[in-house]
Amino acid sequence: MNDNREFIEEFLVESGENLDQLDRDLIALEERPDDPQRLASIFRTVHTIKGNSGFFGFSKLGALTHSGEHLLGRLRDGKLRLNDRVTGTLYSMVDAVRSIIQAIEETGVEGEQDFRELSQTLAAVALEDVGEPTAAPAPAVMPVAPPPTEMPVIPSPAVPVAVIPPPMTGVAAVAAVPAAPSPPAAPPGKPAAQATDSSIRVDVGLLASILDLVGELVLARNELRSIESTDPTLEGVIHRINTVTNSLQEAAVKTRMQPIEHVFNKFPRTVRDVAVACGREVQLVIDGADTELDRTLIESIRDPLTHLVRNAVDHGIEPPAMREAAGKPRTGRLLLRAFHESGQVTIEVQDDGAGIPVEAVRAKAVARGLIDAAAAAVLPDERVLQFIFEPGFSTAAQVTSVSGRGVGMDVVKTNIEGIGGTVDLSSRPGLGTTVRVRVPLTLAIIPALVVRCATERFALPQAAVGELVSLRADGGPRIEGLAGADVIRVRGRLVPVVFLDEFLGLRPTTAARENGTVVLVRVDDHEFGIVVDGTQTGGPSGDPSTPRATHAVTSMEAASLSTIVVKPIGSLLAQMGIYSGATVLGDGGVVLILDLRGILRAKDLPPQPRRGDEAVATAICVTDSYLVCRTIAGRRIAVPVDTVVRLEKFDGQELQAVGGKRLVRRGDLFTPVVDADMLLGTQAAQEDTGSVSLVVLDGRCGGIGIAVRQILDVAAADSMLQPSIAAPGVAGTFAIGGIATELLDLAALVPTAGSHS
Amino acid sequence: MIPSTMPGQPHDTRYCCFVVGSDCFAVASIGVAEVLRDGKITRVPHAPEAVIGLIHLRGRIVPVIDMRRRLGLPAAPPSISGTHLVLGLLDDWYSLLVDEMLEVIEVADHDIEQPSRAAPESAHDAVTGVYADAGRLVHFLDPQRIVQSLARQREPFLNRQGASHGGI
């Protein structure tokens, strides 16, 4: 037997592939029971496994596949018609073959399991249906039109059917994959012959070491390029080596890529099984199965996606009767779509089911104490849905009658975020739910921005970088706010910033406040700025072949964008959570890659929702980030950050009184000023001449400036808003930084401000 | 892949000896990937104190553990340039920056005695045994324990930065 080891391994690998093919073919056959080519393909596959098992002396496997082949032969000859019982038995056979193959793989022998009963069932099923009158013309020659969707259920004789799932009305069907060449179009004679001829199996470790070596070669190439020479022959050689190295690197990277098909392939069977078990009718549509991503990522997304797919069938799509009652087609539609989008792979799992009952989620969130009832009542639906990602949010029987829709969604989110991806979910009642998973193409080679800070250099994943802003002391962009609440204003938004030198302890106080560069990054819901000394310029390190150097960030020098090879830094340093790896630049220097999510966690920056055109009232509810100020009279108030246009400091004497209104002038611009204390109904000292800060609100709030004594912080609220009772100008009270803070009622302010303008 | 060191194997085991401060230490040579005279060190802000940075070694990024700092000794005088003793531990490589490499010795397991009090106190958690060799004591170190002790020591970085704002 040992002599055969190599052949047996080949047989096992091949059989695994054959079994996957069988799953796909059977599902397709269920949809079109009279497809002779599909039936022939199934027959051939089973026959191959049978032949091989005979050759290696696997008798159980031989006996089982023999019975299966017999059953398939009757189907092929039109002696038997496909029904739920037949397909159920065939699926059982595939599963049994799979378990034997697995046993052989693990132990070298077929194992103790007894499949004789299943063989008998296969034989018994094969003998059914002989009396069917329409069986005379073989369906292979004359397909029945229209294809019957509901096969007549034949009363089964008294044969033990323990292994067969009970006949279900559920039919899982797979529509043709539009992007991939559809198997039925292939000539029936040669199944997948070309594929086997043009590909070989290569050890993954070997591919990894090739990639490492190519990385070394790239470094050597970069050094070579930096040699100054006037010798035309040498120049020519360097140029050729340069070109070849680029192509080689590209090709080496491609060897890591696999089509997402490798994950999607399993889903027709998953959907079919879950649909049958839950009594659903589901049509699975797969789009973009040829989308490629790194094979290590393929493994990482397999489980989360499987979970999402199962969830969609189990909890998303309603039972057929309920769908009909709701005026929808009986058969639910599950769309699985993958595509490349701005350097990432997006995978959508979309069902046309009942959607997630938002009110139930809202109630659950309150019941679990995640949010208080008053705040929950005003939270927009899309935000309520995010509670589904809370750990253990729904374990069973809470959201729907079957079980919680949110089962394990926190695990999905954790897994996807673990590989640098994101998950978001949207749902419309009665219309269905879409879960969108975004993952990077690869974790191994990424475009990155290299920045300088003090004496060090750091790399930032370019996918997160939005833009660069150069700070200028002379009236250009600058850091505003006071210590502890540094922000930069970007097109009307206030974005919190982190001084990298301070954060990393490279300098006791930052040296970049006046003339550094702010790298604006976006991580999940957060946008923040990282203040660095500058981006790296010149030198041989910039990789001119960077594919996306030109369009991504227009304001930065292309030289500072590099394609870097991400290398692990060892568990000791990875645990710190602020570096995701390191890389070696063209000049041979080692550079740490910043983990932006880690910086976000360490600094605990508040989320910044994307700016929309919501009414002021919604802005108050939606925002998570508040500007905290002290009024002149000493009250602690908060203003939603996304209503703030800018912060100014001015002297009390700069105020000009015009027609009973107070204005402050900045160039040609007059801003109406309202004292925060006046809004709150407290009396402020009118003759105050000390320095005053002005919080200028945007047009939705009348563009007015609110005068306060001091800007304290930009932070998220720690507690829910307690609506205020009869306190003028105050929308409510909550805790920020552990201290009770009043939220300014901007909605009440707007009419007041309007009268000013 | 370089297998991690396996203390307690039967028969003679080869050990690489080195000096840190005034003491002589050794690690099993089977775990040693490379010995480097020098390498440009990139510092890692906020890393555990003994981790003075990273070096690049044949495509790998290797954290450097300064053994003087690990053992609580003063920094090496300029006359000592230091040598990187690069070890493979499971999937990671680490470099121990030592004062000077000595010879490789072969020691039978039964000749190794229980850790002695003569070892520097700061090394006690990593010393697995001691061996008297030509008038000097050689303390055997388990590199895995050195790394683990650093992982425990690392600064509570996330707790130190800023107050927590819960939010929803």
Report d(CA A601, CA A603) in Å as an integer: 6
How much is the pLDDT for A264?
Answer: 92
Which span out of A18-32, A293-307, A696-710, B141-155 was modeled with the highest average pLDDT? A293-307
Report d(CA A480, CA A695) in Å as an integer: 11
| A356, A394 contact by CB (below 8 A) | no
Give me the helices (H) in A108-202, please.
116-127, 193-198
Q: Which domain holds residue B124?
A: 12-152
Q: Which of A384, A604, A402 is nearest to A503 (CA)?
A: A604
Considering CB atoms only, which of B61, B163, B165 is closest to A606? B165
Q: Which residue of A has its CA nearest to B91?
A: A570
Q: Which of residues 592-621 of A touch B (CB under 8 A)?
A: 592, 601-604, 606-607
Q: How confident is the model at residue A182 (pLDDT cuts 50, 70, 90)?
A: very low
Cβ-Cβ contacts under 8 Å, A216 against chain B:
58-59
| B14, B29 contact by CB (below 8 A) | yes
How much is the pLDDT for B154?
Answer: 53
Q: How confident is the model at residue A653 (pLDDT cuts 50, 70, 90)?
A: low
Is pLDDT above 90 for B99? Answer: yes
How much is the pLDDT for A340?
Answer: 85
Cβ-Cβ contacts under 8 Å, B143 against chain A:
none
| A621, A637 contact by CB (below 8 A) | no
Q: Which domain holds residue A706?
A: 616-756
Is pLDDT above 90 for A349? Answer: yes
**C-beta atoms of A572 and B51 within 8 A:** yes
- For the ranges A634-638, A716-720, B55-59, B112-116, which has the lowest average pLDDT? A716-720
- Locate tokens 């037997």: which residue? A1
Q: How confident is the model at residue A542 (pLDDT cuts 50, 70, 90)?
A: very low
The whole-model pTM stands at 0.54
**C-beta atoms of A606 and B55 within 8 A:** no
**C-beta atoms of B45 and A506 within 8 A:** yes
Domain membership flag for residue B157? no
- A216, A361, A573, A591: best mutation site toward chain B, by most B Cβ within 10 Å? A573
Domain membership flag for residue B7? no
Is pLDDT above 60 for A29? Answer: yes
Domain membership flag for residue A555? yes
- B2, B52, B168: best mutation site toward chain A, by most A Cβ within 10 Å? B168
Cβ-Cβ contacts under 8 Å, A571 against chain B:
92, 151
Shared domain check, A636 and A581: no
Cβ-Cβ contacts under 8 Å, B66 against chain A:
none
Tell me the pairing of strands B51-57 and B60-66: antiparallel
Q: How confident is the model at residue A607 (pLDDT cuts 50, 70, 90)?
A: low
Q: Express each pLDDT in A657-685 by its tens digit.
A: 766 677 777 666 677 888 888 777 776 55
**C-beta atoms of A737 and B165 within 8 A:** yes
Is pLDDT above 80 for A698? Answer: no
| B168, B29 contact by CB (below 8 A) | no
Domain membership flag for residue A230? no
Shared domain check, A552 and A409: no
**C-beta atoms of A570 and B94 within 8 A:** yes
Question: Is A478 in a helix, a strand, or coil?
Answer: coil
How much is the pLDDT for A324?
Answer: 92
Q: Which of A701, A502, A732 is nearest to B45 (CA)?
A: A502
DSSP string, A634-646: --EEEEEGGGEEE
Q: For residue B47, what is the domain's CATH number?
A: 2.40.50.180
**C-beta atoms of A578 and B157 within 8 A:** yes
Q: Which of A583, A593, A647 is nearest to A218 (CA)?
A: A583
| Token pair in block for residue A337 | 């779509």
Across A84-113, average pLDDT: 84
Across A272-295, average pLDDT: 89
How much is the pLDDT for A419?
Answer: 79
Mean pLDDT, chain B, integer: 81
Count how many domains chain B has. Answer: 1
Q: How confident is the model at residue A587 (pLDDT cuts 50, 70, 90)?
A: confident
- For the ranges A161-175, A371-385, A436-450, which has the lowest average pLDDT? A161-175
Could you write out the three-class secondary structure of A547-579?
CCCCCCCCCCCHHHEEEEECECCCHHHHCCCCE
Which span out of A98-107, A175-184, A365-374, B82-91 was modeled with the highest average pLDDT? B82-91
Q: Which of residues 187-226 of A touch B (CB under 8 A)?
A: 212-213, 215-216
- Locate tokens 């003994």: which residue? B50
Is pLDDT above 50 for A155? Answer: no
- For the ranges A125-129, A518-522, A581-585, A667-671, which has the lowest average pLDDT? A667-671
Domain membership flag for residue A610? no
Across A439-453, average pLDDT: 81
Shared domain check, A449 and A428: no
Q: How confident is the model at residue A13 (pLDDT cuts 50, 70, 90)?
A: confident
**C-beta atoms of A602 and B161 within 8 A:** yes
Q: Is B147 on the interface with A (CB under 8 A)?
A: yes
Label residue B90 left, alpha or beta by phi (over 0 means left) and psi (-120 to 50 means alpha). Answer: left
Cβ-Cβ contacts under 8 Å, A377 against chain B:
none
Cβ-Cβ contacts under 8 Å, A579 against chain B:
44
Across A519-531, average pLDDT: 84
pLDDT, greater one: A337 or A689: A337
Across A597-610, average pLDDT: 70
Q: Express each pLDDT in B150-163 by its tens digit.
A: 877 655 454 444 33
| A572, B147 contact by CB (below 8 A) | yes
Domain membership flag for residue A129? yes
DSSP A241: H
pLDDT, greater one: A7 or A335: A335
> Is A476 buried (19+), middle (13-18) or exposed (0-12) by CB count in 10 A?
exposed
pLDDT, greater one: A563 or A41: A41
Is pLDDT above 50 for A100? Answer: yes
Across A169-191, average pLDDT: 40
CA A544 to chain centre: 30
Question: Is A307 in a helix, a strand, or coil?
Answer: helix
Domain membership flag for residue B158? no
Across A152-176, average pLDDT: 38
- B2, B44, B87, B144: best mutation site toward chain A, by most A Cβ within 10 Å? B44
Provide, rounded to the nearest whole percent, the portion of chain A with pLDDT above 70.
Answer: 76
Domain membership flag for residue A415? yes
Across A532-551, average pLDDT: 48
Instruction: Give phi and psi for A298, each to the nearest 5.
Output: -55, -45
Distances (CA, A) of A515 to A322, A409, A476, A477, A534: 64, 44, 10, 10, 9
Residue A594 host element (H or E):
strand A590-594
Shared domain check, A450 and A422: no
- For the ranges A167-171, A270-274, A633-637, B113-117, which has the lowest average pLDDT? A167-171
Q: Which of B147, B148, B138 is nearest to B116 (CA)?
A: B138
Q: Which residue of A has its CA nearest to B149?
A: A572
How much is the pLDDT for A401?
Answer: 34
Q: Which of residues 61-90 of A touch B (CB under 8 A)?
A: none
Considering CB atoms only, which of A375, A582, A738 is closest to B54? A582
Shared domain check, A464 and A435: no
What is the number of residues in chain A? 757
Q: Which residue of B has its CA nearest to A568?
A: B61
Report d(CA A430, CA A29) in Å as an integer: 31
Shared domain check, A371 and A342: yes
Is pLDDT above 70 for A101? Answer: yes
> What's the gap in Å between the CA of A601 and the closest CA on chain B?
7
Q: Which of residues 97-136 of B touch A (CB under 8 A)?
A: none
Beta-carbon count within 10 A of A169 CB? 16
Is pLDDT above 60 for A3? Answer: no
Of A440, A464, A490, the one marking the end of a domain is A440
How much is the pLDDT for A84?
Answer: 80
Shared domain check, A671 and A578: no
Across A331-341, average pLDDT: 91
Rounded-to-10 torsion of CA A545, A551, A555, A556: -20
Q: Which residue of A has its CA nearest to B163?
A: A737
Q: What share of chain A is helix, strand, coil (3-state, %, to 5)?
A: 40, 25, 35
Domain membership flag for residue B75? yes
Considering CB atoms only, which of A456, A592, A604 is closest to B162? A604
How much is the pLDDT for A400?
Answer: 43
Q: Cβ contacts of residue A8 below 8 Å, gap of 6+?
A: A1, A56, A104
| A494, A518 contact by CB (below 8 A) | no
Considering CB atoms only, which of A504, A590, A715 is closest to B54? A590
How much is the pLDDT for A129?
Answer: 58
Beta-carbon count within 10 A of A455 CB? 9
Q: Where are the beta strands (DSSP E) in A355-486?
A: 422-428, 432-440, 445-453, 456-461, 465-470, 479-480
Do you find a cis peptide bond into A183, omega within 30 degrees of 0? no
Cβ-Cβ contacts under 8 Å, B56 against chain A:
584, 588, 590
Is pLDDT above 90 for A350? Answer: yes
| A163, A92 contact by CB (below 8 A) | yes
Of A552, A578, A603, the one marking the end of a domain is A603
- For the ranges A41-50, A577-586, A619-628, B88-97, which has the lowest average pLDDT? A619-628
Q: How confident is the model at residue A524 (pLDDT cuts 50, 70, 90)?
A: low
How much is the pLDDT for A147?
Answer: 40
Provide, rounded to the nearest whole percent, the portion of chain B with pLDDT above 70.
Answer: 84
How much is the pLDDT for A348?
Answer: 94
Is pLDDT above 70 for B11? Answer: no
Q: Is A720 on the interface with B (CB under 8 A)?
A: yes
Q: Which of residues 560-579 of A touch B (CB under 8 A)?
A: 567-573, 575-579
Q: Crossing angle, helix A204-225 and helix A232-255, to 10 degrees?
A: 150
> What's the gap in Å between the CA of B63 and the closest CA on chain A?
7
Across A387-396, average pLDDT: 67
Report d(CA B119, CA B125) in Å as an integer: 10
Q: For residue A720, what is the domain's CATH number?
A: 2.40.50.180
Q: How confident is the model at residue B3 (pLDDT cuts 50, 70, 90)?
A: very low
| A604, A625 contact by CB (below 8 A) | no
DSSP A397: S
| A64, A97 contact by CB (below 8 A) | yes
Shared domain check, A384 and A493: no
**C-beta atoms of A719 and B166 within 8 A:** yes
| Complex ipTM | 0.83
Is pLDDT above 60 for A465? Answer: yes
| A641, A481 contact by CB (below 8 A) | no
Q: Which of A529, A491, A526, A527 is nearest to A512 (CA)?
A: A529
Q: Is B167 on the interface with A (CB under 8 A)?
A: yes
Shared domain check, A657 and A582: no
Q: Which of B155, B70, B39, B75 is nearest to A505 (CA)?
A: B155
Domain membership flag for residue A227? no
Which span out of A131-145, A405-419, B7-21 was modeled with the highest average pLDDT? B7-21
Count how many domains chain A has. Answer: 4
Provide, rounded to the nearest whole percent, the portion of chain B with pLDDT above 90.
Answer: 33
Report d(CA A407, CA A314) in Å as an integer: 11
Q: How confident is the model at residue A198 (pLDDT cuts 50, 70, 90)?
A: confident
Across A552-562, average pLDDT: 44
Shared domain check, A343 and A419: yes
Mean pLDDT, chain A, integer: 75
**C-beta atoms of A607 and B167 within 8 A:** yes
Q: Which of A581, A576, A553 is nearest to A463 (CA)?
A: A553
Q: Which of B10, B8, B26 is nearest to B18 (CA)?
A: B26
- For the ranges A621-625, A697-701, B95-99, which has the lowest average pLDDT? A621-625
Is pLDDT above 70 for A477? Answer: yes
Q: Which of A648, A643, A633, A656 is nearest to A693 (CA)?
A: A648
pLDDT, greater one: A27 or B21: B21
Domain membership flag for residue B24? yes
- Locate tokens 């749902």: which residue? A427
Shared domain check, A655 and A592: no
Q: Which of residues 615-654 of A touch B (CB under 8 A)?
A: 624
Considering CB atoms only, which of B63, B94, B165 is closest to A604? B165
Considering CB atoms only, which of A571, A592, A720 is closest to B92? A571
Is pLDDT above 90 for A10? Answer: no
How much is the pLDDT for A730?
Answer: 81
Is pLDDT above 90 for A605? Answer: no
Q: Is B153 on the interface with A (CB under 8 A)?
A: no
Q: Express each pLDDT in A206-265 by its tens digit.
A: 887 888 788 778 777 877 877 777 888 888 898 899 889 888 987 887 888 889 998 998
Shared domain check, A563 and A647: no
Q: Cβ contacts of residue A95 below 8 Å, gap of 6+?
A: none
DSSP A318: P
